[in-house]
Structure 1
Amino acid sequence: MLEFSYPEHQQLYDYWDSKRGDRFAPCRGDIDPIDFPHLLPNLCLYKVHRNPLRYEATLMGTRVVEIWGIDYTGKFVEDIVLGPVYDQVTEQFKYVVTHKEPTLNDLDASWLDKDYVKYSRLMLPLSENGTDVDRLFVSVVLLTRETT
């Protein structure tokens, strides 16, 4: 059971959960951004590629782009600067794909030397065929030095 510290994560999870019904995950077509416009700046969407397993950023919210300082849309995770948390992050992505369940992780970002020091990431699976995870629906909450 996930325990949410941030309302953005709880709201997105509740929406995702209502759309999946009795499936392990809704499909991309079940998700309508008009239903949660206030969450859009903090959302990302990744397409799952197989053989080899890779993750392509297909959507980066404006707040995420503003904070990271780079729009990673169209880039693969291995092209995104993740520094010392790269292995941890890719294992978390792989977990959602293989276990077909959401994850909630808090990660250190202090090594980036930005205004924020940590971020919280909710990853939710999406599935077109009802069997495989083909997209990751992600909410990112960045914690600045003032909020920690």
Structure 2
Amino acid sequence: MQEAVSQSLYSYWDALRGNRPAPKRFEIEPSRIANNLPDTFILERVNYTNARFRLAGTRITDALGMELRGRNLFEMFDIGDRRTLQNQMELIASRCAVGLFHMSAESADGKSTTFEVLILPLTHTSDTVERFLGSVASREKPEWLGSVPLTRRKLVHHEIVWPSRAAPEDESDFQYQAPILHTRREARIVRSARRQFRVFDGGLSLSGDDR
């Protein structure tokens, strides 16, 4: 992460989650990130092909020259980048990873610049990742930014960041959550020593009629 906005938002998210894979959506306090609000957004992942903006800061919408609220993130890119984003978002949601992207954007008259985009998972209802906190920060900050619509967008770099999970002094207080599953089924709790597992029956444990 090279941009101050990305670093600041990541630090806030990382401190908020503590020893959990991700914080909850309702724990985000706008007042704590007030300086970065114009550069931040909230996404709702409806399904694999639709991640729509619920909120987008004014600096983002001004820079791109478009209203983002309600817009599907994936449809802002061509088919190749769209598939990359869909796959990366699947990984961010299912494994509580952090997504870091560099995006180029160009106007109709050839003006272009690049942005650093950060996407952070948030748990919502039923402890599933359906919301994302993110930021968009211009890397070059040209003087014309915000005066022309940037109609063509392309991914130029993407990577997954795995946040560290430092164990607390008392290991018995550490509650690590396994990667979150989107499809919820009946589960049973299995305890072994200090560890606790949620076991979902499936595959060969199901009869032919239940599969």
After superposing the two structures, state which structure 1 stretch, 95-104 or 20-29, moved more: 95-104
Deviation of the 1:39 alpha carbon: 0.2
Contact 1:26–1:126 (CA under 8 A) maintained in structure 2: yes
Match of 2:21 in 1: 24
Secondary structure at the counterpart of residue 51 of structure 2: strand
1:13 is paired with a residue whose SS is helix
Once residues 71 and 61 of structure 1 are traced to their aligned partners in structure 2, the CA distance between those partners, rounded to angstroms, is: 10
Q: Tell me the SS of whatever aligns to 1:139.
A: strand
1:67 to 56, 63, 69: 63
Deviations 1:7-50 (A, max 9, x none): 11111111111111111110111100111111011111111113
Q: Normalising to structure 2: TM-score of the pair?
A: 0.59
Larger relative contact order (Cα-Cα within 8 Å, sequence gap ≥ 6): 1
User: Separation in 1 of the partners of 2:88 and 2:110?
Assistant: 23
Q: Is the 8 A contact 1:116 1:145 kept in 2?
A: no
Distance change >3 Å, CA 10–CA 39, structure 1 → 2: same
- RMSD of the TM alignment (CA)? 2.4
In structure 2, C-alpha distance between the alignment counterparts of 1:146 and 1:70, rounded to whole Å: 18
Q: Kindly tell me the number of residue pairs found equivalent between the two proteins.
A: 142
The structure whose Rg is larger is 2
Any idea what SS the aligned residue of 1:134 has? strand
Matched, 1:126 2:118: no
Give the structure with the larger strand fraction.
2
More helix by share: 1
Deviation at 1:77, TM superposition (A): 2.4
The within-5 A match list for 1:71-110 is 71-79=67-75, 81-83=76-78, 85-110=81-106
- Aligned partners of 1:24 and 1:130 also within 8 Å: no
Show the counterpart of 1:6: 3
Residue 55 (structure 2) pairs with residue 37 (structure 1)? no
Cα distance in 1 for partners of 2:16, 2:106 equals 35
C-alpha displacement of 1:97: 1.4
Q: Structure 2 vs 1, CA of residues 45 and 113 (structure 1 numbering), >3 Å: closer, same or farther? A: farther
Post-superposition CA distance 1:62-91 (Å, at most 9, x none): 001001111120122244x32463333333
Q: What residue identity is the alignment partner of 2:100?
A: L
What secondary structure is seen at the aligned counterpart in 2 of 1:72?
Answer: coil
Identity fraction in percent: 24
TM-score, normalised to structure 1's length? 0.82
Task: Identify unmatched segments of 5+ residues in structure 2.
Answer: 144-211
Structure 1 residue 103: Cα displacement: 1.6
Partners of 2:24 and 2:98 in 1: how far apart? 14
